[in-house]
DNA sequence: TGCACTAATTGCACGTTGTGCAGTGAGTGG
DNA sequence: CCACTCACTGCACAACGTGCAATTAGTGCA
């Protein structure tokens, strides 16, 4: 899965990284992010506070945790989708993976977000970086200049809107709804109505 | 415009409120929000640091500044739109006002956001509250249960996606594009493709 | 094996953020 | 004129986030 672990050093670093995230996730879900200090997270992961900040810029990022390398990962995944696939569907497939990849973390993440809705915002913030990368690839696929034509930015924005809406409604339902399934449904609803750039008029 | 100013006390409070926002906006646009401390903002507005925190929870909020009362304002505005108007168009009209109302502040706000993209995120965060209220009204208009049917949340998410996309592209163009006009165009593009809830199939 | 080299971790210091609390003074209403 | 309310203020304090230098473990080469 991971690009082969190169050495013991890198392996240990990943271990502390994971331990910090797990601790932040667990504590954040248990007591709410506001009542958890960075010191507690670091202690739970058995490292110093200073080390925490070498891995995450803030405790919120440790919980939301969309690292920079995921951007590349997502971009490559979108590039690998067949060229014949409609942009929105391609976006759905690769974004859908965000739910599946760290599926074990999502329940805790949702509980943490429930404790402080501002975390949901932080998450949407991290989407900005994703959107930028995705818009770039969509522009390649469609051959449109993203600075000239709003279509790439719009399709991507619509896809993330579906992602956000599914997150929000899943949260509103108190966890009774599956965010991933809701996301698929939302995209399907949009796909039925949205059309590719060539024909601006739907019918 | 404002619900009549009741007394001198309230008037003075609004004055300091405005002075703080103006100072934050000006300094943030000039030097970037990261290089401006709350103390500087407070000093520029000739009040104490503690007073600043009586008006805004953080310097970012002073710049982005979507107060709670605006939520009610926006909700009422949406309720006042004719029932025959398509949901997306109604959303466009009321959201469009966000650009016009404090039009004088937008140039400064854009420059501040340019200095630190995280501010754009903070702005999107504040949209969550707006979306919640708007979804509620859309649910009323369409007679759909927002917890049961994803349509209200989706239309609203799509509308704010257009808002966000227009903000982002306007920022990317370095201010050469008009965010408000771009917003209108984006919504028009979407409106041509999206259809009301009754008929899920566009044709 | 021995020896530089790199990088993760750590402690320390420091400025900044955000909040609770009590006091002051101006504005308000009877 | 007299309570009463409330914006503003200073103070203290916990927590956040970062720069810097030292330590220690892992890495690569002779």
Task: Give pLDDT tens digits for B157-174.
Answer: 889 888 887 887 777 676
Q: Which of A193, A199, A202, A203 to mutate against chain B (most B CBs within 10 Å)?
A: A193
- B94, B77 Cβ separation under 8 angstroms: yes
* Phi/psi of residue B201, nearest 5 degrees: -85, 125
Helix, strand or coil for residue B116?
coil
Q: Do B165 and A182 touch (CB under 8 A)?
A: no
Enumerate the CATH 1.10.10.60 domain ranges in chain B, comma separated: 8-63
Residues of A in contact with B169 (CB under 8 A): 147, 150, 153
DSSP B162: H
The span from the CA of B125 to the CA of B164, in Å, is: 11
Q: Is A60 exposed, middle or buried (0-12, 13-18, 19+ CB in 10 A)?
A: buried
Q: Is A185 exposed, middle or buried (0-12, 13-18, 19+ CB in 10 A)?
A: middle
How many CB atoms neighbour CB B113 within 10 A? 25
Q: A60 CA to D7 C1', in Å?
A: 34
User: Which residues have CB atoms below 7 Å from chain C, the nucleic strand?
Assistant: A 9-10, 12-13, 16, 46-51, 54-55; B 6-10, 12, 36-39, 50, 53, 57-60
Q: Which of A81-90, A138-147, B23-32, B97-106 has the lowest mean pLDDT?
A: B97-106
Q: What is the pLDDT of residue A185?
A: 87
The span from the CA of A128 to the CA of A123, in Å, is: 9
The span from the CA of B125 to the CA of B101, in Å, is: 20
Q: Which residues are CB-neighbours of A130 under 8 A, at least 6 positions away?
A: A66, A70, A71, A74, A160
Task: Give pLDDT tens digits for A25-72.
Answer: 999 999 999 999 999 999 999 999 999 999 999 999 999 877 767 788
Residue nearest to nucleotide C20 (CA to C1'): B50
Averaged pLDDT score across all residues of chain B = 84
Q: What is the CATH architecture assignment of B8-63?
A: Orthogonal Bundle (1.10)
Confidence of residue B194 (pLDDT cuts 50, 70, 90): low
Enumerate the CATH 1.10.357.10 domain ranges in chain B, comma separated: 66-191
- Tell which wins on pLDDT, B147 or A130: A130
Nucleotides of C under 7 A from a protein CB: 7-12, 16-21, 27-29
Average pLDDT over residues A79-87: 93
Residues of A in contact with B156 (CB under 8 A): 165
> Position of tokens 């309230």?
B10
Nearest CB to A202: which of B125, B154, B193?
B193
Q: Is A7 exposed, middle or buried (0-12, 13-18, 19+ CB in 10 A)?
A: exposed
Task: Give pLDDT tens digits for B69-120.
Answer: 778 888 999 999 999 998 999 999 999 988 887 778 888 888 898 888 778 7
Q: Does residue B54 reach within 7 angstroms of strand D, measured from its CB?
A: yes
Task: Give pLDDT tens digits for B9-62.
Answer: 999 999 999 999 999 999 999 999 999 999 999 999 999 999 999 999 999 999
Q: What is the CATH architecture assignment of A66-191?
A: Orthogonal Bundle (1.10)
How many CB atoms neighbour CB B149 within 10 A? 15
Distance (Å) from the alpha carbon of B153 to chain A's nearest alpha carbon: 6
Distance (Å) from the alpha carbon of A9 to chain B's nearest alpha carbon: 33
Among A122, A41, A94, A88, which Cα is nearest to B122's? A122
Q: How far is CA A33 from CA A24, A29, A61, A168, in A?
A: 8, 7, 11, 18
Nearest CB to B124: which of A121, A173, A185?
A121
Q: How far is CA B60 from CA A41, B14, B113, B159, B193, in A?
A: 26, 19, 10, 24, 36
């Amino acid at each position: 899965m991971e690009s082969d672990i190169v050495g013991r050093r890198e392996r240990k670093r990943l271990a502390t990284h994971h331990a910090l995230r797990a601790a932040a996730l667990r504590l954040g879900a248990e007591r709410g992010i506001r009542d958890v200090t960075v010191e507690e997270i670091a202690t739970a992961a058995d490292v110093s506070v200073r080390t925490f900040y070498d891995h995450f810029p803030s405790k919120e990022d440790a919980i939301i945790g969309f690292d920079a390398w995921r951007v590349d990962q997502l971009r490559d995944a979108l590039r690998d989708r067949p060229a014949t696939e409609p942009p929105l569907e391609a976006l759905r497939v690769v974004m859908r993976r965000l739910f599946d990849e760290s599926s074990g973390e999502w329940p805790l993440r949702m509980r943490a977000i429930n404790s402080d809705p501002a975390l949901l915002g932080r998450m949407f913030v991290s989407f900005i970086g994703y959107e930028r990368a995705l818009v770039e690839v969509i522009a390649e696929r469609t051959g449109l200049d993203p600075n000239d034509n709003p279509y790439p930015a719009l399709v991507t924005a619509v896809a993330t809107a579906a992602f956000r809406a599914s997150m929000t409604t899943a949260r509103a339902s108190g966890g009774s709804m599956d965010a991933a399934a809701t996301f698929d449904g939302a995209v399907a609803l949009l796909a039925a109505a949205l059309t590719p750039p060539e024909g601006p008029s739907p019918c």
